Amino acid sequence: MKKIKVGLLGLGVVGAELADIINSNKENIKQKYEIEMEIGKAYVRDLQKKRNTDISPSCLTNSAEEVLNDSDIVCECMGGSGTEITKNYVIRCIESGKPVIMSSKKVIALYGKDILDLCLSQKSQIRFDATVGGGIPIAKVIKECFKGERITKAVGILNATSNYIYSSMERKGYTFGQALKKAQELGYAENDPTEDIDGFDALYKVIVLSLFAMKSWVNIKEMYTKSFSTIDLIDMKYAEELGYKIKPLAIFEKKDSKFIYRVGPCLIAENHIAANVTNNFNIIVFEGSNSGKLGFYGQGAGSKPTASAMYDDLISVLKTNFEYEMDLYKGCEVIHDYREFSNNLYWRVSVDNTIGKLALICNVFAKNSVNIEKVIQKDEVGGKMDVVLLTNSVESTVIDLITREFENNKVDVNTIIPFFND
């Protein structure tokens, strides 16, 4: 019977869960594949730390090189250990001819093209389906089920932390800060939540999904995000009055070699499927050239969903030959033309409740050729009055001009959010 040693780079919550799944499925792997699988060495930074795992202390090492030398397949579970370190370890695995299973979406987003090019030249397998979707097997679905058509567009909620925060604000009346604190208490948010709430985690997933779904390499250096933290409770209330919800959306579309995208808050109609995805759940809706819209829903974060996805990747390496898997990444288009997603806008501004202020606001929009479709004057609070305006699509440069002119005339611009209508 063939013996396979699995090395682990990292033994945090994901690595420990993966080790437990491997150990609990040993007999199943023996019967199905006639393979005796065992955990080899596991790289950790602190050998003395207490761990909730059955792995023998003799398997632990603080030398990544020892893991590479002692393993047939390597699983990268490095978590927040640093992208440069993780990238270097992954490259060492590939150069050693070892198949690699990855969990770091950030490493793929930053260095994926170089890593895949190296895999193709070295004829070494790599799997990173687990880097996006968590418990949603979205990468496998795309790779196996969209052979006869093109995926042209996608919209989704790709970050569980921000979605939990927005759900708590909407349903429980928490402020953004209160909801974030609760997410941290429940383990949905890191102690430093910057990558989640500023949209970077979702952006990394957009880059990975663009590769899987559109065979395109998009360059993170050409892209930006709009922070999810800019939304106030009052915006949630006003959106509801309009028949919409505010959601932390990722939108991306490939059109004539142009990449149109947005990662940030959007207003979405309350009857849209994504509007009703709450708590730590994610959704991704693809638009295929033949099949139309298809939605995929599930838990997008957590150690168990990620470890489960990594285990699936591990089994796939045992079953699939190099040529079949790596052919998926040949001939991918490198995108050079990036466009910001644009649509009608929601503006919330605050002004002193004095004569002429509303006229001033309307004049600024008119001067910049912006059409106001609706003006809603809200109640005065503390001498200030909220005004909600719905306008046509406005280019970012024009938004900057309007914002500066408002500031010069003591008009506070609180929120600007696009609508997503689909």
How far apart (Å, rounded) are the C-alpha atoms in residues 74 and 314? 9
Question: Among all chains, which residue has been given the structure tokens 């990173």?
Answer: 128
Q: Residue 164: count other Cβ atoms within 10 Å of its Cβ.
A: 24
Of 393 and 288, which is predicted with more confidence? 393
Q: pLDDT digits over 211-267, tens only?
A: 999 999 999 999 999 999 999 999 999 999 999 999 999 999 999 999 999 999 999
Task: Identify the helix (H) or strand (E) that includes residue 162.
Answer: helix 160-172
Give the relative orientation of helices 105-122 and 200-214 as an angle to the nearest 10 degrees: 30
CATH code for the part of the protein at 2-127:
3.40.50.720
Q: Which residues lie across from 391 on neighbouring strands?
A: 345, 372
Residues forming the active site:
205
pLDDT for residue 80: 67
**Distance, CA of 151 to CA of 74 (rounded, Å):** 31
Asked if 8 contacts 60 with a C-beta cutoff of 8 angstroms, the reply is no
CATH 3.30.70.260 boundaries in the chain: 345-420
pLDDT at 327: 79
Q: In whole angstroms, what is the distance from residue 247 CA to residue 157 CA?
A: 8
CATH fold group of domain 138-300+332-340: Dihydrodipicolinate Reductase; domain 2 (3.30.360)
Read off the pLDDT of each residue in 45-59 and give the average, rounded to a whole number: 85
Taking alpha carbons only, the member of 173, 164, 11, 178 closest to residue 78 is 11
**Residues 208 and 181 sit within 8 Å (Cβ to Cβ):** no
Residue 30: both structure tokens together: 């023996």
- Region 345-420: CATH code: 3.30.70.260
Helix axes 26-33, 13-24, angle to 10 degrees: 60
- CA atoms within 13 Å, Cβ hemisphere of 401: 12
Ranges for all domains in the chain classified under CATH 3.30.360.10: 138-300+332-340
Q: Is residue 187 classed as helix, strand or coil in its secondary structure?
A: coil
CB atoms within 10 A of CB 155: 27
- Give the Cα separation of 421 and 272 in Å (integer): 9
Question: So what's the pLDDT on residue 380?
Answer: 83
* Confidence grade of residue 323 (pLDDT, cut at 50, 70, 90): low
CA proximity to 119, closest of 289, 305, 323: 323
Dist CA 234 CA 386 (whole Å): 10
**For residue 419, what pLDDT band results from cuts at 50, 70 and 90?**
very high
pLDDT band at residue 300 using 50, 70 and 90 as cut-offs: low
Span(s) in the chain for CATH 3.40.50.720: 2-127
